Amino acid sequence: MWTPGSQKALAGFTGKGNKKRNKEYIVCIAHYISVMFTACELGVFDLLLESGKPLSSDAIAACLGASTMGMERLLDACVGLKLLAAEMTLEGALYRNTEISNIYLTKSSPKSQYHIMMYYSNTVYLCWQYLADAVREGRNQYERAFGISPKDPFGAMYRSDEEMLKFMAGQNSVWSICGRDVLAAFDLSPFTQIYDLGGGGGALARECVSLYPNSTVTIYDLPKVVQVAKEQFVSPEERMVKLVLGDFFNDSIPEAELYILSKILHDWDDDKCKQLLAKVYKACKPGGGVLLVESLLNEDKSGPVETQLYSMNMLVQTEGKERTAAEYSKLLEAAGFGVIRVRRTGKLYDAVLGRKYRHVLQIWETRKKSTTAPQETIHKRNVQCVCFSLYQSLILTVCLTKAILNLYLNSCKIKLIPVLSSLTCIFIPEVLI
Ligand code: ASE
């Protein structure tokens, strides 16, 4: 659930070492998480990294201002969980980090997951204590955990600057392990003007400009988020990363070629997602697109287990859920996006790309009673629609059977898609022309 590294450690915990105890380890799994969080919070892994040599439990306890007795027990439990290694000397045990802890559990490592763990430990888990209530009621648990109204989940999550900062730092740490994969899932180099809606601390935006050096990425987020991003995360030297204030539900969304919605839709129910995507579609340049970055469930929801657990997290903390690729495709299509492609990265987060057609041609069928077929070029939903006159479409359908018409359109790389029973649309995806 936490990191690829800790999963391996968990496998060590539940697997080989416990052969004799069979499956009884299941009753101890909850303790695993607490031990890991506590060792992180007390700074055990940071101290062992900085010291550069193995340390005794006494030395560690003294440096971290903890009791010797408590620290020794914590360190031994970490050894059991393969988060630390111990070597026996004449003076007693000396402890050092394992590779997994050095990479993921120390604050200073480039792939550090420290901040997301601290966010889980100090905030998310307070909501998880009411998981049974969340399941019974089908809603988040801010009221019980923090005495805050659950109506506005981000109002609750950003209830103080400190909480908001912890959330932003936590989100940023995820991109250090998955950012490149989700951005490289599709070739995004044709898009140079990119908006990262709800881009927060900017780690994904930074990853994006480094992978696509011709692009500028604008982080669009709530004013207080942008202010903290400016102060703490994005330096003015990073000229390809820009910041714009706005609330994507209530303010207008500026025009761009590509919108990134990373871990946004999973925060909201289907109605809110449709509302947001419709706004994004309207703002999007014809030929542009939207990149959804989400953890995808299998179509039958049988896994992956990480995503199933994330969905529980969405239940206790937000109004959303994790979805399947088909569910995201449906939301995108409802907003008008087409040519939807899905890429699984094999990591925690995946990518779905939808495009806004450059042109839409409509032909009115004559068989069914179409009353007033538009006579000339009109503009509809920001997309240029060229509508044939009733007379022209009559000739088309009389002279050409649908099969021949299809053949002709295929040769021009135009796709014929029936939209309504009384109406036939021809879409020319931008990628085909
Ligand atoms: C959100 C992401 C998170 C909203 C609440 C959250 C995370 C923890 N709490 O958009 C980060 C990791 N993601 C998940 C799904 O657990």
Task: Rank 47-51, 122-126, 155-159, 397-401 by mean pLDDT and report only the highest.
Answer: 47-51
Tell me, yes or no, if 266 is annotated catalytic: yes
Q: Is the pLDDT of residue 73 over 50?
A: yes
Q: Which atom of ligand 1 is nearest to the CA of 123?
A: 9
Stated as kind and residue range, the H or E segment containing 16 is: none
Stated as kind and residue range, the H or E segment containing 224 is: helix 223-228
Q: Is 233 in the pocket of ligand 1 (CB under 6 A)?
A: no
pLDDT tens-digit series, residues 332-348: 999 999 889 999 999 99
Tell which phi-psi region holds residue 303, choosing left (phi > 0), alpha (psi between -120 and 50) or beta: left
Q: What is the pLDDT of residue 411?
A: 62
Q: Cα(6)–Cα(19) distance, rounded to whole angstroms?
A: 20
Q: Is 123 in the pocket of ligand 1 (CB under 6 A)?
A: no
Q: How far is the CA of 174 from the centre of ligand 1 (A)?
A: 10
CB 286 within 8 A of CB 355: no
Q: Is the pLDDT of residue 378 over 60?
A: no
Q: Is the pLDDT of residue 373 over 50?
A: no
Q: Is 323 in the pocket of ligand 1 (CB under 6 A)?
A: no
2 pLDDT tier (thresholds 50, 70, 90)? very low
- The two three-digit tokens of residue 310, written as one number: 């994330």
Q: Cα(170)–Cα(156) distance, rounded to whole angstroms?
A: 16
The order of strands in the sheet holding 256-262 is 241-245, 216-221, 193-197, 256-262, 284-294, 350-355, 338-343
CB 380 within 8 A of CB 374: no
Q: Cα(424)–Cα(416) distance, rounded to whole angstroms?
A: 7
Q: Is the pLDDT of residue 361 over 70?
A: no
What pairing do the DSSP bridges indicate for beta strands 284-294 and 55-56? unpaired
- The two three-digit tokens of residue 119, written as one number: 């966010």
Mean pLDDT of 277-286: 96
Q: Is 345 in the pocket of ligand 1 (CB under 6 A)?
A: no
pLDDT tens-digit series, residues 130-141: 999 999 999 999
- Give the residue ranges of DSSP H helices in 268-360: 270-283, 305-317, 325-335
Q: Cα(419)–Cα(170) distance, rounded to whole angstroms?
A: 44
Q: What is the pLDDT of residue 422?
A: 38
Q: Is the pLDDT of residue 392 over 80?
A: no
Q: Is 295 helix (H, G, I), strand (E, B) or coil?
A: coil
pLDDT tens-digit series, residues 225-275: 999 999 999 988 898 999 999 999 999 999 999 999 999 999 999 999 999
Q: What is the pLDDT of residue 360?
A: 53
Mean pLDDT of 102-108: 98
Residue linked to tokens 């946004």? 264
Long-range contacts of 29-36 (CB under 8 A, 24+ apart): 31/77, 32/81, 33/2, 35/74, 35/77, 35/78, 35/81, 35/83, 36/2, 36/6, 36/78, 36/81, 36/83, 36/105, 36/117
Q: Whose CA is nearest to atom 13 of ligand 1?
A: 310
Mean pLDDT (the chain, rounded): 85
Q: Is the pLDDT of residue 389 over 70?
A: no
Q: Is 262 in the pocket of ligand 1 (CB under 6 A)?
A: no
Q: Which of 294, 314, 323 to mutate to test the pocket of ligand 1 (most atoms within 8 A of CB)?
A: 314
